[in-house]
Structure 1
């Protein structure tokens, strides 16, 4: 059986056709069937029936070999590495089982390599964000602070008219400094280490309300498990991206932000009552959230109906028993 399964497909087809031809030859040798010098109509009928039987038998035998190839070809055209997990059934592949098994193994390797490369890219992205945030805080922030001090010193010795103008410039500079600090905090979620995940999510909700005026209803159940640093960062980034999309595209009047646990699954939910119609296959932001979810073994689902708002659900596995 193992030798038969190890035969190349070409030789299997040759063996099947050879077996059919041998059966046809044996039928001619072992039966009294003959053909006259001038073929009779009865002999034509017998030959036609025999040919039909040979063709049908050949088709039946080859179907078990080639039909799995048709299914394999159809699946190959629909494979999307952004949606991993799809496999062909090896048990129903028949003689083509080694080929199907090889295809499934290839998908396993491609998905593993893509996950590893995506993980490296996301870690590099986080490191770059940390670097930019540090430079914004140390370089731009300090420069703007020095400008504020210089403007205050200049305003103290200036005439009232000039001092009023300098005060307006100070207000603009102070606003710019606050914006730089806010961008730095978004690039580097230091609040995760300082305040924890729940307080960081609350900070995101408060920031959205302060910038857009959209109220955010928060629902955080107690007894949530301790997460790894990567899982906390993924949860924070997904919530951050989802709330950013609400502010940019949803035209919503209310948002719900929740973090709950059911059994061994931790669920983050961000839902709005906006225009909806978001497409899970388009946009680097949504794809980035999906990649981050897969990086920690989670799953992200986007539910969006036009006119009925959008719901982003992140599910992460947790190993610890619930409190």
Structure 2
């Protein structure tokens, strides 16, 4: 428990001080780089510490008096001490070397001044660039890291450590003061770092057993590092080392452990891949890591080291091969942050594709080149024929490998190709043939299955009405859609989106199970939203999946018009049936409750009169007949009113009387103030009955809308007959609305069935109906039709 508390506190310190550590690492790298490039002579002999405390000449310049195998005893009278400057500063053009050659001690002046040359660049530049790029990648990982993402913090710090060690190893060999801290002490921690990297990424905390192993390795690395400090501070100044005392070189041990740690890391990653389920998201991440690490390591082994050992030549120049090692930190950067920056999918897949294709083509070209040279027996300068022979096969190979390499990279980055155009075509056909809500549910469910998402939901809103709402459970889809509109989210939004973290945090709080929202946009307006939970329970969406879901959202957007119209027509049909049933019930009730009851009463009176045994007194007879007559007259009036309600008789007497009667009815029943006037001659004779019926329904519905929405408004009704055209205009000075801006389909989608009916009545008589603003305020309904 105390150890866990200490580790948690250490993690907090590391997170808070991550940029300070990054700054120190950069300063150390720059210090080592500057020392190598500006404080080590370019023309000096190539030396090596053999054993660790003795400086031995490995190679010399052609005109140098030194010889290979000379042991350097003094330079300018100064004993060379490992981890301290070899050449006394400031630098000179020549130094006096005292060397031991066999049993002979020789002192000679050696020129060390030389211009910068290709050998120096190829020796210093790869390590310098890798150290700087490794530092940059580590710093980017730390910059994006959150306090709760300890893996990212650890990985970022590890790559800072690797950059420091790489710079320190080379600088310490040249005697840069203090560089031994990175190249001779911290190098032992590189093994622990590689082992830890094999546990990243992970979706569960490290087991107690793993933590114990890492703790034991850390203690061993600390012990070896302390031993290295003792060697630098105590043994090297005495011209001795552990290699001379116990036969073990700490320098070589450090290099071996660093290299062996990389092998262990890859082996552990492969073991993790082997043990994980085939469809696991974590398994895919680990495979990506292995591919990136292989891209960085295999070329230097297969194209540089092995050819050097077998043929004493290299296929891939050492600086280029070393430069590919940068793919190791890039791989970790990618798998850690690909879920928060989907653009990384596209960038890294393209880079990996280009590098793999280039390596494959280059390997074929350079291998064939050397083989043909040997077969033809020509030297490098006379190998024009070999180059010509292999040019076209190499070109054909490049074309042939392009698609297989692309498929391989896409399979590694995105997994099996499940999101094909055939699926889009299939779903499009389904929606086209069956534009219903149940079809949208099928499309969403099918998409969720392809994404391996356990939960999916769709909300489509149409202005004021909710058209489709599937699968939201206890979430708040209406508030979610309002938030998307308010924040103008027009692209898919991920819960893990680092670039839109504040927006994502607010919106995803409205739906806790969702990991992805995709807005459904029609005519630049957000009309709906698709929501999906994380793939495979705890995975993340990649760029290919997002592109597929965007296509599905666009498909739903295009199809939603048909679906909503279909549902509106279906709803209109149901409402029509309900209205017809209600009308039948009203008529039955009206006839039963009044006329039939009265008729029954009259029948009873007459039956009693007829069945009376005694003679009925005249005044009784008159009274009975009078009551019966009154009841029959009441029945007559009631039936006439019912008949007029079903089909007003005045509609057969012409359009002018129809308009006047409707106006009178609304004035008397609802108290509207209506100014009605008719213009034109011969209206009664000229207007067909079907047109009168259309005028009746349009006028009635318009005045009904005034009663509902502008009861205290003044209404102006005008009927004009001119040029074989009938024009009806109903204008009010009420508050008005925006219905005049809506198309017929929009009116239908938004359930304005009364206005839809007016349009249909106008079309029935080959006319048109328009809604217009009645300035300064109010609404005007204008119907025109030929007669």
The TM-score range, normalised by the shorter chain, is 0.3 to 0.5
TM-score, length of structure 1 as denominator length: 0.46
Larger Rg: 2
- Structure number with higher relative contact order (C-alpha < 8 Å, ≥ 6 residues apart): 1
